Structures are given as C-alpha cells and as structure tokens.
Amino acid sequence: MRALVVIDPQNDFCPGGALAVAGGDEIMPKINAMMESFDLVVLTQDWHPNGHSSFASSHDGAEPFTTFDMNYGSQVLWPDHCIQGSIGAAFHPDLNTDLANAVIRKGMNPEVDSYSAFLENDRTTPTGLDGFLKERGCANLTLVGLATDYCVAWSAIDARNHGYHVNLLLSACRAINLNGSLDISLKEMKDAGVHIAEQ
C-alpha cells in the first residue's frame, strides 16, 4: 500500500495568506495529478485555536519569526495563522479534496505547536496518522506540500522513525527558508533516510 501525504495545503500558507510560502499555490495542480496513482491520500491541516502559544501575538512584545522557550523546547513564533474555521485554515481552492481518504488536523492544543503529521512538537503526543496508515497496511509514503523545511521535513523524519519508506517530491513542495532552514532540513531528511526526488 502506497500513500500520498499532502502536508498543509492551506490558504494561509499560499500567496495572500497570513504565513505565505512563495509559490505555495503553484503545487496544487501537480498534487491533484498525483492522487489517483496512490492507494491512499491523506491531507493534513494546521488547525489552531485563537491565541495559540506559537503565535507571536500571544507573547507581549514578541516579533514573528523569533524564538521562544516553551516547556517542550525552543519554538519559532509565527504570525497568527490557520485559525480554526477561518478562510486561512481552509484547503486551497485549487486542491482536489475529493480523493482524500483522511484529514489529520494538528496544532489544536493551545499550548503545543505541531509541525509533524505524526507527533506534536512535544514529541510525545500522536496525531493518529501512524495508526491510520498501519491499520491499512501502508508502509510506503510520498510526502508533498508546505512548507518543505518545517512541517514537511518534520513529517518525513518522523515517518522514517515510525518505520515507513519515505519519498519526498521537491517539485510538489515549497519552502519558507528561514535563516537557511531549507538546506538544514534537506540534510536532516537525507541523514534520516528520506529519499528526495526533484521531479
């Protein structure tokens, strides 16, 4: 069984969104074209409550893209984004959601951010994706989506740690590249055994 895992293809991560990734909208047609080639399609969705602790606005005087020490470690503080039920949290309108077998929502705990599709940033709380995939006998994953150097990379590395064979298709991803984060994340994924393809 082969699954396509589409990470956070949401309005707020596309041009015009609150945490826009350059060219984020450009990947939607490619992702749509890939879907029918897989046994399963899973979409993940950042789904934050108002006032989430990862928002810079939740910390007096804090600026977006700085770091803050949470009880689970260092956390980048982001602009308010992907607030539950908002247009920004919705899937991009160019994405075909009809073939999705499951939607995994993450980042709902107001005290813990969640980059990975498998584990929240406390590194212990599961999202349920691992159980969903293993119950269906799926061992081979291809990851695409937003953003390459954060939620996609954390998901890919966690997938390897959970025993999956993992492919990452760079042409169907886009990166934030905050302070060289893209090169760092690509090396970390390769070191973890993620197979990275350009096309």
Paired sense of beta strands 2-7 and 140-146, if any: parallel
Q: For the chain, first and last CA: distance in Å?
A: 21
Instruction: Give the Cβ contact number of residue 6 at 10 Å.
Output: 30
Q: Which of 8, 46, 149, 158 is catalytic?
A: 8
Closest to 54 in 3D by CA, of 73, 35, 68, 37 = 68
CB neighbours of 187 closer than 8 A, spacing ≥ 6? none
Q: Which of 82, 106, 130, 149 is catalytic?
A: 106
> In what helix (H) or strand (E) does residue 173 lie, and over which residues does it extend?
strand 165-174
Among this protein's residues, is 30 annotated catalytic? no
Q: Which of 14, 82, 138, 151 is catalytic?
A: 151
Among this protein's residues, is 173 annotated catalytic? no
Among this protein's residues, is 8 annotated catalytic? yes
CB neighbours of 78 closer than 8 A, spacing ≥ 6? 19, 54, 55, 56, 64, 65
How many Å apart are CA 56 and CA 92, to the nearest integer? 24
Q: Catalytic residues, which ones? A: 8, 106, 151
